[in-house]
């Protein structure tokens, strides 16, 4: 737990950054891709060549990595504190290492997936 | 929000695989259970963003050291970020939809 406590400013920074990014971009992405993606409205914009070109551009890669990884870290911080609320401080090491471990795994998965585009 | 981010990551993975994988992923989003999950994700993320902007106005107005409070009433300070968020979502929709 010493390492987790020492890095507390980093977790809070990632949490804050994730909150900002989620508020800025996530509703637009969910509406535009996940909800309207299969509809005719987005059929041109999300056609494979265009979507691939958008995502595979340098700006697209930075955007995707930034948005997805920061949202994962934001959620991990929430999850850690939610577990503390549920199980108390006895669960602190499991909550911290579990939540941030998941976020780290998601970050590696995101970066490798985006770089493979 | 994590579920939505995970779904988007799966979409990026499908985009990296092939055109067929991308189409199959888009088609999977049209199923009723996925629509329901995505609708819940959207409502929650909108609630989060609005709460974020509404609470943020107090931090902006009162907490930044020696900088004086902005000479604006609190509701305006709240509406400004919310308007900014909605505008940004619309811009994102326009870009994603290929209308630009």
pLDDT digits (tens, 9 = 90+) for A74-102: 999 999 999 888 888 888 888 889 999 99
Kindly list the domain boundaries of chain A, sorted by start residue.
Answer: 2-115
pLDDT in 10s for each residue of chain B, 100 residues: 889 999 999 999 999 999 999 999 999 999 999 999 999 999 999 999 999 888 877 776 555 667 676 677 777 777 888 888 999 999 999 998 888 7
Check residue B4 and give its pLDDT.
92
The interface predicted TM-score (ipTM) is 0.88
Question: For residues A66, A69, A73 and A76, what is the CA-based torsion angle, rounded to 10 degrees?
Answer: 150
Closest alpha carbon to A67 in B56, B9, B38: B9
B94 with B100: CB under 8 angstroms? Answer: yes
Phi and psi torsions of B18, nearest 5°:
-165, 170
Check residue B63 and give its pLDDT.
59
Cβ-based contacts of A80 with chain B (< 8 Å): none
Cβ-based contacts of A47 with chain B (< 8 Å): 98
pTM above 0.80, yes or no: yes
> Is there a contact between B92 and A46 if contact means CB atoms under 8 Å apart?
no
CA of A11, closest CA in chain B: separation in Å? Answer: 16
Residue A23: enclosing H or E segment and its boundaries?
Answer: helix A8-29
The residue among A16, A25, A27 with the most chain B CBs within 10 A of its CB, best to mutate, is: A27
CA of A54, closest CA in chain B: separation in Å? Answer: 9
Residue of A nearest to B90 (CA): A28
CA of A84, closest CA in chain B: separation in Å? Answer: 19
Distance CA A27, CA B50 (A): 11
Check residue B65 and give its pLDDT.
66
Distance CA A105, CA A69 (A): 10
> Is there a contact between A75 and B2 if contact means CB atoms under 8 Å apart?
yes
> Is there a contact between B39 and A42 if contact means CB atoms under 8 Å apart?
no
Cβ-based contacts of A109 with chain B (< 8 Å): 9
Distance CA B26, CA B28 (A): 5
> Is there a contact between A26 and B5 if contact means CB atoms under 8 Å apart?
yes
> Is there a contact between B99 and A30 if contact means CB atoms under 8 Å apart?
no
* HEC sequence for B7-60: HHHHHHHHHHHCHHHHHHHHHHCCCHHHHHHHHHHHHHHHHHHHHHHHHHHHHH
> Is there a contact between A24 and B26 if contact means CB atoms under 8 Å apart?
no
**N residues, chain A:** 117
Backbone conformation region of residue A88, classed left if phi is above 0, alpha if psi is from -120 to 50, else beta: left
Q: Which fold has domain A2-115?
A: 3 helical TM bundles of succinate and fumarate reductases (1.20.1300)
Structure tokens at A92: 């602190």
> Is there a contact between B22 and A25 if contact means CB atoms under 8 Å apart?
no
């Amino acid at each position: 737990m010493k390492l987790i406590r020492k890095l507390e400013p980093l977790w809070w920074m990632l949490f804050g950054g994730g909150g900002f990014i989620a508020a800025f971009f996530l509703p637009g992405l969910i509406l535009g891709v996940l909800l309207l993606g299969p509809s005719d409205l987005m059929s041109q914009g999300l056609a494979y060549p265009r979507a691939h070109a958008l995502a595979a551009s340098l700006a697209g890669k930075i955007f995707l990595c930034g948005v997805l990884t920061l949202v994962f870290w934001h959620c991990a911080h929430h999850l850690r504190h939610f577990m503390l609320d549920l199980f108390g401080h006895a669960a602190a090491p499991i909550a911290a290492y579990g939540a941030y471990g998941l976020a780290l795994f998601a970050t590696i998965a995101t970066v490798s997936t985006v770089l493979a585009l | 929000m994590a579920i939505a981010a995970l779904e988007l990551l799966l979409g990026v993975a499908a985009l990296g695989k092939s055109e067929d994988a991308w189409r199959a992923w888009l088609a999977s989003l049209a199923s009723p259970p996925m629509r329901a999950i995505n609708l819940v994700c959207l409502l929650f993320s909108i609630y989060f963003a609005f709460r974020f902007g509404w609470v943020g106005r107090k931090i902006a107005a009162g907490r930044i050291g020696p900088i004086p409070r902005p000479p604006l009433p609190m509701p305006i300070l709240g509406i400004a970020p919310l308007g900014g968020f909605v505008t940004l979502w619309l811009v994102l929709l326009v870009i994603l939809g290929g209308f630009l």
